[in-house]
Amino acid sequence: MNYILLGPPGAGKGTQAKKIVEYFAIVHLSTGDMFREAKKSNEALSKFLSSGQLVPDEIVINMIKERLEKDDIKKGFLFDGFPRTIKQTEELEIILKSKNLKIDAVFLINIYFEEVIKRITGRRVCECGTSYNIGMIPSKEDGKCDRCGRKLIQRNDDKEDVAKERFTVYGKQTKPLIGYYKKIGLLVNIEGAKDEKDVFEQIKRHIKAKNDK
Ligand code: AP5
């Protein structure tokens, strides 16, 4: 069971990824999370993330290559936020082929611009990894994490101007992947402007149908 979650920033990839990996007991591979962790000690990375630009392909591909060396990926994995360019897509194919692995489906979370901006600018996150949304999925106590009580913060790249830039970058560099995966029969369209449970049900239904055959 190896999958890719594709979709614009704020589509709900991270939210769905957590549910999918927990339910199906597979490994979550989020390049965004990996870069947010790495940027703490890497000034150059920080610049790409806070401006809404993509990290150069070579850096991304090397990081993924290294990650796929770990044994845990044998359980199955879910890419969240990777690949994001045609170059990354082609390189991923080469890496997987060399390991005798393949992608079973690419879930495209479809969502429109206004909803994305609303979700991103309303997002508040906790260091423990929990994500909230001030308009749609609020914490019980304002500004505090329900799970660990720490203070919630806004990601640097969630300010409106950077969020809009990320959406533009998605349109130019990542959207072409839709045609690529459609052509090879892996693309599965998911209606993203529904509540979290509903979106998860759509993905779960597809995975179960394929694996129950
Ligand atoms: P990354 O972290 O991957 O950001 P992204 O793709 O822009 O996605 P987001 O994390 O913003 O949104 P999401 O789709 O995960 O939505 P979420 O579930 O959080 O990447 C960050 C940066 O790292 C990039 O800009 C780039 O610089 C770099 N990078 C990463 N990967 C790279 C790569 N492969 N190549 C090059 N550079 C790379 O939900 C958003 C909000 O909506 C939350 O508040 C959530 O609570 C809420 N929400 C979720 N679902 C619903 C729902 N159904 N209804 C209502 N609210 C919802």
- Report pLDDT digits (tens) over 141-179: 999 999 999 999 999 899 999 999 999 999 999 999 999
For residue 28, name the pLDDT band (cuts at 50, 70, 90).
very high
The pLDDT of residue 38 is: 87
* Cβ-based burial of 172 (10 A; exposed 0-12, middle 13-18, buried ≥19): exposed
Q: What is the best residue among 133, 134, 139, 164 to mutate for testing ligand 1's pocket, by most ligand atoms within 8 Å of CB? A: 133
What's residue 213's pLDDT?
A: 65
Predicted TM-score (pTM) of the model is 0.94
Nearest CA to ligand 1 atom 19: 14
Q: Ligand 1: distance of its center to the CA of 193 in Å? A: 15
Task: Give me the percent of the chain exceeding a pLDDT of 90.
Answer: 87
User: What is the average per-residue pLDDT within 179-194?
Assistant: 97
- Candidate from 28, 42, 54, 79 with most ligand 1 atoms within 8 A of CB, to mutate: 54
Q: What is the per-residue pLDDT across 90-149, written as a single tens digit (0 to 9) for each?
A: 999 999 999 999 999 999 999 999 999 999 999 999 999 898 999 888 999 999 999 999
The rounded mean pLDDT for the chain is 94
Please give the distance, rounded to the nearest whole angstrom, from the Cα atom of residue 24 to the centre of ligand 1.
Answer: 21
Region 185-212: mean pLDDT is 95
Residue 39 pLDDT class (50, 70, 90 cuts): confident
Q: For the domain made up of 2-112+167-211, give the CATH fold.
A: Rossmann fold (3.40.50)
Instruction: Enumerate the domain spans of the chain.
Output: 2-112+167-211
Model confidence at 22: pLDDT above 80:
yes
* pLDDT mean over 48-60: 94
Continuous H helices in 4-137: 13-24, 31-38, 43-51, 57-67, 86-98, 113-122
| Centre of ligand 1 from the C-alpha of residue 9, in Å | 5
Local structure of 175: helix, strand or coil: coil
Q: 58: closest CA among 16, 91, 100, 99?
A: 91
In three-state secondary structure terms, 70 is: coil
Look at residue 43 in the predicted model and tell me its pLDDT: 83
Neighbour count for residue 55 (Cβ, 10 Å): 20
> For the chain, what percentages of helix, strand and coil (3-state, to nearest 5) are there?
55, 15, 30
Residues recognised as catalytic: 13, 84, 123, 155, 166
> If you take atom 23 of ligand 1, which residue's CA is the nearest one?
32
Residue nearest atom 25 of ligand 1, based on CA coordinates: 52
Confidence at residue 41, expressed as pLDDT on a 0 to 100 scale:
78
